[in-house]
Structure 1
Amino acid sequence: MGLPMAGMAAAPASPPTILVVGDSLSAEYGLARGAGWVSLLEKRLAERDIAATVVNASISGDTTAGGRARLAPLLAKSRPDVVVIELGGNDALRGLPLAGTEDNLIAMVKAAQAIKAKVLLVGIQVPPNYGGDYMQKFSGVYETVAKKTGSAVTPFLLRGIADVPDAEANFQPDRIHPLASAHPRMLENVWPALAPLLKR
């Protein structure tokens, strides 16, 4: 077998795969198909001629424990280059211990990193009626996990949507799930941290 010729061009890298593991905020709950921020991400990538495949494995109602339990087969099937983890909101709604949420997120990040995937944590915040102390501790979980694992983080998916005057106008009648009109802003919140991870 001969040696490679000097100057021979390397084989082009295959397009990266982005795996999104989230809950109803990423699963287009209550929206027309194609209106959610993950679908808008696919459209943005296409418009900017960024070759990438997006696999949306989000399930409405999922918790960090649920995401942790189903992550291994998702990683094995899609072999992602980037994993976006948008989970935790349902942990808070169910009053689950913060320590468990943090532990589950760390386990998910490490599982993704074990196959050389880059990870983006997408955080959520709970409403003020949960109490200021709990609200602060919960929002801090994402930054803590990011520091412990060296992953990227978007602190608050609903920034500019849930934390503005007349925020109710941005939500469906359940006051939990954003309207389709809010999803472009959700993408804008995620994009600055996600875009650098797509570079080889």
Structure 2
Amino acid sequence: MTTTSAPTPRTLLFIGDSITDCARAEDPAGLGFGYVRLLAEHFAAHEPTATVINRGISGNKARDLRARFDADCLDLNPDVVTIYVGVNDVWHGFTSGDGVSDADFERDYRFLLDQLSATRPGVPVLLVVPFVADVDEEKAGYHGELDKKVAIIRALGKEFGAAIVDLEAVLEEAWTVGHTPASIAEDGVHPTIAGHRLLADAWLDVFRTVDHTLARSR
């Protein structure tokens, strides 16, 4: 019988806001109940030597990730990093007046990528494009501000060679198969179960383009 060696164990870290968090404090495994858990289940089946870490915190903005990036990312020596932040930088400006300027958002987001480039060169980095689903007129009105944050993320991804998980494209595809804004995110921001599934699938599709190990686990 032919034997092959197991892949080198690696750590995949996800850092972001409530969409990543997804009640991880209530989960004994600390994975939450959203897309990070779905991806952890994928790796448990296809790459059981891998470790998936969720470091999402509800309400976080880019500046919050910057403040905790050492402890919650770099100090954990990740082999793959996913950053998903940006919707609160816009949403909170409408709900509580605590919005974030484009310049400040770019400064803080760039800091994260600068730190990864300096300390973890060669590590795959995936940037998730934040979205808002137009469940009502208020949420539809967020796009003017969110689009500017998304453009910053796309530009930084190109500059740093990070992969983009394009949730705007995911939504466009979702409408063609019969989804509605509420079936993706009932409040326009937090994904439903179906929304998390689409997010996880999109992440896997992108990661397969940058990681040959995962490409063999279809």
- The one-letter amino acid paired with 1:20 is F
Q: Distance in 1 between matches of 2:164 and 2:206?
A: 7
Q: CA deviation at 1:195?
A: 3.2
Structure 1, residues 123-143: CA drift from partner, whole Å, max 9, x if none?
1134431354x3432321211
Q: Distance in 2 between matches of 1:160 and 1:84?
A: 20
Q: Distance in 2 between matches of 1:163 and 1:93?
A: 23
2:124 is aligned with 1:118: yes
Q: Distance in 1 between matches of 2:74 and 2:161?
A: 22
- The one-letter amino acid paired with 1:22 is G
* Structure 2: runs of 5+ lacking an equivalent: 93-98, 133-138, 214-218
Inter-CA distance 159–196: structure 2 relative to 1 (3 Å threshold): closer
Inter-CA distance 143–131: structure 2 relative to 1 (3 Å threshold): closer
* Partner in structure 2 of residue 181 of structure 1: 194
2:105 is aligned with 1:101: yes
The share of aligned pairs that are identical, in percent, is: 26
The alignment partner of 2:205 has SS state of helix
Q: RMSD value over aligned CA atoms?
A: 2.9
Q: Distance in 1 between matches of 2:172 and 2:182?
A: 9
Please state which structure has a larger fraction of its residues in helix: 2
- Greater mean alpha carbon deviation, residues 51-60 or residues 21-30: 21-30
Q: Distance in 2 between matches of 1:24 and 1:124?
A: 12
Q: Check conservation: 1:21, 1:56, Cα contact below 8 A.
A: yes
* Partner in structure 2 of residue 24 of structure 1: 18
Inter-CA distance 177–158: structure 2 relative to 1 (3 Å threshold): farther
What pairs with 1:58-73 in structure 2 (closer than 5 Å)?
58-73=56-71
Alignment coverage as a number of residue pairs: 188
* Partner in structure 1 of residue 154 of structure 2: 143
Structure 1, residues 63-102: CA drift from partner, whole Å, max 9, x if none?
1000011011223431011110001111111321112112
Q: Distance in 1 between matches of 2:191 and 2:173?
A: 9
Inter-CA distance 83–23: structure 2 relative to 1 (3 Å threshold): same
2:13 is aligned with 1:15: no
Inter-CA distance 162–193: structure 2 relative to 1 (3 Å threshold): closer
- Greater mean alpha carbon deviation, residues 162-171 or residues 136-145: 162-171
Q: Distance in 2 between matches of 1:81 and 1:53?
A: 10
* Partner in structure 1 of residue 167 of structure 2: 156
Aligned partner (choices 124, 138, 141) of residue 129 of structure 1:
141
Tell which structure's C-alpha radius of gyration is larger.
1
Structure 1, residues 21-70: CA drift from partner, whole Å, max 9, x if none?
1111111149x845311011011112223531111111010110000110
Q: Distance in 1 between matches of 2:19 and 2:173?
A: 13
* Partner in structure 1 of residue 135 of structure 2: none
Inter-CA distance 184–70: structure 2 relative to 1 (3 Å threshold): same
Inter-CA distance 141–162: structure 2 relative to 1 (3 Å threshold): farther
- The one-letter amino acid paired with 1:16 is R
Moved over 6 A (4+): none
